[in-house]
Copies of this chain bind each other. A is one copy, B any other.
Amino acid sequence: MKLALIGVGLIGGSAAAAWRATGGVGYVTGYDLDSGAAERGRALGVIDATATTIAQVVEGADLVLVAVPVLAMRAVFAEVAEHAAVHAVITDVGSTKVSVLDAARDGLARGDKLLFRRFVPGHPIAGRELPGVEFADAQLFRGKLVITTPDDETDADATTLIESLWQRSGARIARMDAVEHDRIFAAVSHLPHLLAFGLVASIASEADGDRKLQFAGAGFRDFTRIAASSPAMWRDVCLANRATLGTELQRYRDLLERLQQAIGAGDAAFLERTFAVASDARRRHAPTLDAE
């Protein structure tokens, strides 16, 4: 099976490498807006050949993996629809799913090919904080979760193909509704990224920010690891899931306001109660979280 990879970065490159390692994919052609990234992917053996246009990369492809920032997907889908084979199965690795399904319904419906039915939305819950195909790793998905959010119209054989590629790469599949996906990941992924970016940006922009960061310990290291992630990717995630993320952020800001009042008023009981709710929940979920 021939794979067209659109977006030669950490996740797309890792998926291509993983799917090839299992024998599910035999040949990979890659396209990236940044032709240097595609070239590095080829030099590293993550892809076999580079293409200079989307038309060229999808030519003859049985499988198209779209691994670009989520707000760039609409335009990519429209080009894919113009050039992909009728039988091609298309999937993505975006961190939001409602906006991606909308973009696919719009972009992939063009022409008479009805490629939208061949589109299987996916989201591997795996990553590294350092973006770029240089960090691609065929083992990245081993033991990790991949969420799929197929539409009612999605062809069952297309969903089966994509889920089996992920499973053969060592991942577990959880299938759910796109709306629920975006609600869950607004809370446990999108908001934490926003908060971590915000904290490091806030400290770094202080006059003595560098001196402060020099004294940071292991707690800060872990808390801010995700703040090294790709700014462009997370800019798009925040905007693509803006309504749901906005609700979670407002809820969190309300709690911070209440915590600030408690600190100002010396309300030890409220602080301890809030911290204990968190500490209990974090320890209760530790077996799942810390097993990864």
Contacts and interface: CB of A to CB of B under 8 A. Distances in A.
Interface of A: 125-127, 129-130, 144-145, 147, 174, 183-185, 187-189, 191-206, 208-209, 211-232, 234-236, 238-239, 242, 245-246, 248-253, 255-257, 259-260, 263-264, 266, 268, 271-272, 274-283, 285-286, 288-290, 292
B268 A239 contact: yes
B292 A217 contact: yes
Contacts of A249: 256, 259-260, 263
Contact of A223 (B213, B226, B264): B226
> SS class of chain A's interface: helix, strand, loop or mixed?
helix
B200 A281 contact: yes
A220 B257 contact: no
10 contacts: A184-B212, A184-B215, A188-B216, A188-B220, A189-B219, A198-B278, A223-B226, A224-B289, A229-B275, A239-B263
Contact of A253 (B189, B203, B232, B253): B253
Contacts of A251: 202
Contacts of A130: 283
A22 to B, nearest CB: 22
A45 to B, nearest CB: 26
Nearest to A131: B279
Contacts of A223: 192, 195-196, 222-223, 225-226
Q: List the 9 closest pairs (A to B, CB-CB), nearest first.
A: A231-B275, A204-B281, A200-B278, A125-B217, A221-B289, A188-B216, A201-B278, A228-B282, A197-B278
Contacts of A260: 246, 249-250, 253
A248 B211 CA distance: 15
Contacts of A236: 268
* Copies of this chain: 2
Contacts of A279: 197, 200, 227-231
A257 B206 CA distance: 18
Contacts of A252: 198-199, 202, 256
Given A239-B263, A253-B253, A264-B246, A274 B226 contact: no
Contacts of A174: 215
A228, A277, A279: most-surrounded residue (chain B CB, <10 A)? A279
A112 B257 CA distance: 46
B195 A282 contact: no
A229 B248 CA distance: 24
A205 B211 CA distance: 36
A196 to B, nearest CB: 6
Given A126-B217, A192-B224, A222-B223, 19 more contacts: A183-B208, A183-B212, A187-B203, A188-B212, A192-B220, A192-B223, A198-B256, A200-B278, A219-B225, A224-B278, A225-B282, A228-B283, A231-B275, A231-B278, A231-B279, A234-B275, A242-B263, A242-B266, A245-B263
